[in-house]
Structures are given as C-alpha cells and as structure tokens.
Structure 1
Amino acid sequence: MAPRVLGGRGVSIQSGWASTGLAGVGDSAPPETPLTAVLDFVAETPAPLLVVPLEDMLGLEDQPNLPGTIDTHPNWRRRMPRPVESLFEEPGAAGRADLLARARGRA
C-alpha cells in the first residue's frame, strides 16, 4: 500500500482489515487496492440492502465530510471528477459496478 498519513483513521482501517483476516475472509494485510476486495466481501453478504457511496464507487480517496470541521474542510461540497453522465465510463468504476451486480445476482 502506498504510504499515506491517515492518523487515527489509518489505525481504524488497519484494524478493520486485520479483523477480516481473523474472520477468515481475507488476509491480515490489505492488498494494493483493498476497495474492490471490500466491495466484493460486502456484496456477498446476505444483507437485503447495500449502499455504496459514489465516492467509493469512483475510487476517490478524499472523504466528502470530515466531522468536527466547519471552515477547514469542504464538507459535502466536493465536486465529482467528471460530469454525471460519464462517471462510470472510467474502467475502475464500471468494474466495481459490474462486481456488485454479479455478486448480488443482477448481472
């Protein structure tokens, strides 16, 4: 995984990933890009409803809201990287949508 400064959130991410390894559903260390593996795991659960933020479908790293901030973070004001009509033309986003559709039996 590329080195990044994640602070407390990084500890949560690493702990969460370690939990998947302990549960026998993943490795104890995240792959280069854990997003697809996490979406695959969640899509395979028996939950009747699956909600995935658009930012995750697009593979964006910046979170849309940072709790506890007012003026230092553009909470809920982030713009998508391209017009809505073409958001899923990017192979990564289209692949994640296909993965979810297949796993949920709707492909």
Structure 2
Amino acid sequence: MSIQEWVTPVGIQWLWLSVVGLAALSAHFCTIKAMQHAEVTTIATLDFLRLPFIALLGVLLYAEAFEIALIVGGTLMLLGNLYNAKGFLSGKKPAVKRAD
C-alpha cells in the first residue's frame, strides 16, 4: 500500500503542492462559471479536448511514446468536438430543452 511508502513533503514541495491545488481549484471554478454562461453540452465536450493536449504535452515535454492509440483517440475527440460545434453554430435546437 502507498501508506507504507509515504514521504512527508518538505520545504519548497509544500509551495508547489499549494500551487497545484490552487490551479485545480481555479480550473473547477472557471468550468462552473462557463457552465453558467453557455450550454453545458458545449462546455462538457470542450472539456474532453484537454486529454489530447495533455497527451501531446507528455510527448513533447516528457518524451513519452507516441502511440497509434494516442493519434486515433485524439483525432476522434477533435472530430467529435468539431461535429458538436457545427451543430450549435448551425442553429440546431438541442434534443432536450433547458429547464430555466
């Protein structure tokens, strides 16, 4: 178990942990605010774009393996988001009405 290998952070590590925590908190806050101002379906699908970008950063910054699954998955996510955005831009009504 990981509890047996626990190492308490020291010094500057606490600062970096705080920075990561604040970044995550602000990301969630911004996502919630975006959902208050736009269609949730739009925000949720755009949120999936972070996965291909994170994978790309892993390849570029950490020399991770560039696998075919990464290309196929990222391409499918991008195409799905483009298809969804095209539907919203063309003025199509969502299948379910919003309860305002």
- What TM-score comes out, normalization by structure 2 length? 0.32
Which structure would you say has the larger Rg?
2
More helix by share: 2
With structure 1 as the length reference, what TM-score do the two structures score? 0.31
